[in-house]
Amino acid sequence: MGMGTEWPPTPAQQRKAVVSAGSALKLVLFVILAGLALRLLVGPPAYLLPPTAAPEGAARLFAVPERERTAGGGGGGIPSVENSRLQRGDGGVRLTTSISLVVRLSFSTSCMERWPETDDAVFTLTDSEPLTALGKKEGSTKPEESCDLFHGEWVPNSSGPAYTNASCRFIESPQNCMTNGRPDTDYLNWRWKPYGCEVSPFDGKKFLDGMKGKHWALIGDSILRNHVQSLLCLLSKVEDATEVYHDDTFRSRRWHFPSYNFTISLVWAPFLVKAKIFEDDDGVSTADLQLHLDVLETDWTSQWEKFDYAVISTGQWFFKTAVYWENGAAIGCHSCQNKTLEERPPEYSFRRALRVAFQFITSSPHKPVVFYRTWAPSHFENGEWFSGGTCNRTAPFKPGEAGDREWDNSMWRIEREEFHNAVPIGGDRLKLLDTFELSLLRPDGHPGPYRAYHPYEKGVTAKVQNDCLHWCLPGPIDAWNDVIMKMVAKD
């Protein structure tokens, strides 16, 4: 052969080349495996690590009751707690609670279509699996999308409140703590900081620009009325609303922002279901409440098609003495004098009322965006409303200071369970405004004795009524609107 022509390899040379290549491949694989082994020995990868303990102040500090107290049958799907255990993580204690909820969706009501007939639907709620405001497990890789707005801490805020008792005319007297003479002001200088993200202050101009031609309704009890005052004060920095309606008691009202054609309605429905109430403005009753647990209050359902957005909540009224009705018959009562009726706990009526309300919302052809705002805890100490309870704290709770709040936790658990069972039917337009933790950490935010004008003018020994349930304005519940603004902006 001529110059430059290569001879083909012999069979022996071919075998030698294959052996050499195989040896090289084995060497590469060995190096890779050795590296992985070294990585595991030095420190396991993230996906093998045990779950870490929550930052201080997280919701798992609040124990969930081992079982919901009920009396008698007829609960229609009352949940049971399978197990509750403390699990040691990295540097702290982690509460893991598994709750199995069995709900018969065939529960009949007299005011609406029933939910679809199915077998028992089982929902398991585990604290170690956080749920977003839409009721879905967090799984986004984007920090802002996966941030849980409802678990965090209160941090100092040097900028102070967004408005004052002098700049807002919508603060009603029992919540106007500064005008009523509250001497301390530190409670005004905190802001809510979720773990892992920020919540910007409420932007009234941005909110109104996005809500032109819309109608918001806030439906519930006096805590919702408190909430409306906060919202009106925040918006008054942009435009002062005009009141266009009120009922005879001024409990249901409506305001209009003419420059934006934006409407806010406050609808009085303290139980959401039909109720006959026999008490005055100070809460003194002349007869037992009569609650029809299978019939909704028409003051809000009759207006439902007008609303583009609704904030709904109920709560503390369920602790009052009441007779419970279903299908036109008295089926039990709570703390009533009629010994012939079966005693049933507040959890029973609370769950029934929520279930009927969610059934209406999810079955209605009209689909506004609905925020269900969770339980607003009280902070009475040394008694309750009628037994001399007070709330004299001047700073937020530190982690662990809230103590054992069995009733609050029980009611909070019920509403989350009922909400999450409604979400598969209600879809993304049904949202959880879970303000329980941020509210629980603020025992300093209530009027206390300053629900009345200068209560100690006649001396510090004067007997005064403390309000440890409603909230001073400005105050902690302004953060409820900050969070709503964040949720609306994300949509």
Per the CB < 8 A criterion, the answer to whether 157 and 191 are in contact is yes
pLDDT of residue 286: 79
The CA distances from residue 482 to 118, 330, 354, 462, in Å, are 39, 42, 25, 38
What is the average pLDDT across 333-337? 90
Confidence class of residue 190 from pLDDT cuts 50, 70 and 90? very high
Confidence class of residue 46 from pLDDT cuts 50, 70 and 90? very low
Catalytic residue among 222, 230, 378, 439: 222
Query: Is the predicted pLDDT of residue 362 greater than 80, yes or no?
Result: yes
| CA–CA separation, 132 and 459 (whole Å) | 49
* Catalytic (active site) residue 467: yes
* Catalytic (active site) residue 470: yes
pLDDT of residue 37: 53
| CA–CA separation, 173 and 405 (whole Å) | 29
pLDDT of residue 61: 32
304: β partners: none
pLDDT of residue 338: 77
**pLDDT tens sequence across 448-457:** 999 999 999 8
Confidence class of residue 32 from pLDDT cuts 50, 70 and 90? low
Confidence class of residue 461 from pLDDT cuts 50, 70 and 90? confident
pLDDT of residue 96: 38
Catalytic residue among 410, 470, 478, 482: 470
- According to DSSP, the β-strands at 262-268 and 215-220 are parallel
- Which of 51 and 123 is assigned the larger pLDDT? 123
> Residue type for 204, please?
G
**pLDDT tens sequence across 233-249:** 999 999 999 999 999 99
Query: Is the predicted pLDDT of residue 185 greater than 90, yes or no?
Result: yes
pLDDT of residue 451: 96
Percent of the chain with pLDDT over 90: 61
Query: What's the burial of 323, exposed, middle or buried (CB within 10 Å: 0-12/13-18/19+)?
Result: buried
Lowest mean pLDDT among 121-125, 390-394, 414-418: 121-125
Assigned token pair, 133: 């405001």
Assigned token pair, 168: 């807002």
| CA–CA separation, 129 and 81 (whole Å) | 16
What is the average pLDDT across 450-466? 89
pTM above 0.85, yes or no: no
Query: Is the predicted pLDDT of residue 252 greater than 90, yes or no?
Result: yes
Confidence class of residue 412 from pLDDT cuts 50, 70 and 90? very high
Strand stretches in 348-433, DSSP E:
369-373, 430-433
- Which of 407 and 235 is assigned the larger pLDDT? 235
| CA–CA separation, 316 and 432 (whole Å) | 19
Long-range contacts of 285-291 (CB under 8 A, 24+ apart): 285/320, 285/321, 288/321, 288/322, 288/323, 288/333, 288/336, 288/337, 288/338, 289/320, 289/321, 289/322, 289/323, 290/322, 290/323, 290/325, 291/322, 291/323, 291/324, 291/325, 291/349, 291/353
Query: Is the predicted pLDDT of residue 205 greater than 90, yes or no?
Result: yes
Per the CB < 8 A criterion, the answer to whether 394 and 462 are in contact is no
Lowest mean pLDDT among 115-129, 246-260, 298-312: 115-129
The CA distances from residue 178 to 39, 121, 172, 187, in Å, are 60, 50, 12, 11
Domains and CATH numbers, the chain: 59-490 (3.40.50.1110)
Give the H/E segment covering residue 410.
Answer: helix 406-426
| CA–CA separation, 393 and 373 (whole Å) | 25
* Catalytic (active site) residue 285: no
**pLDDT tens sequence across 105-132:** 333 333 333 343 333 333 434 443 343 3
Summary mean pLDDT of the chain: 79
Query: Is the predicted pLDDT of residue 18 greater than 50, yes or no?
Result: no
Query: Is the predicted pLDDT of residue 31 greater than 70, yes or no?
Result: no
Identify which of 415, 435, 471, 477 has the alpha carbon closest to the alpha carbon of residue 190.
Answer: 477
pLDDT of residue 485: 97
| CA–CA separation, 97 and 482 (whole Å) | 30
What is the average pLDDT across 35-42? 50
| CA–CA separation, 81 and 68 (whole Å) | 8
Cβ neighbours around 196 below 10 Å, total: 14
- Which of 127 and 329 is assigned the larger pLDDT? 329
Catalytic residue among 127, 221, 288, 467: 467
First to last CA, the chain: 78
> Residue type for 41, please?
L
Query: Is the predicted pLDDT of residue 92 greater than 90, yes or no?
Result: no
Question: DSSP string of 113-136?
Answer: PPPPP-SPEEEEEETTS-B-TTS-
pLDDT of residue 21: 52
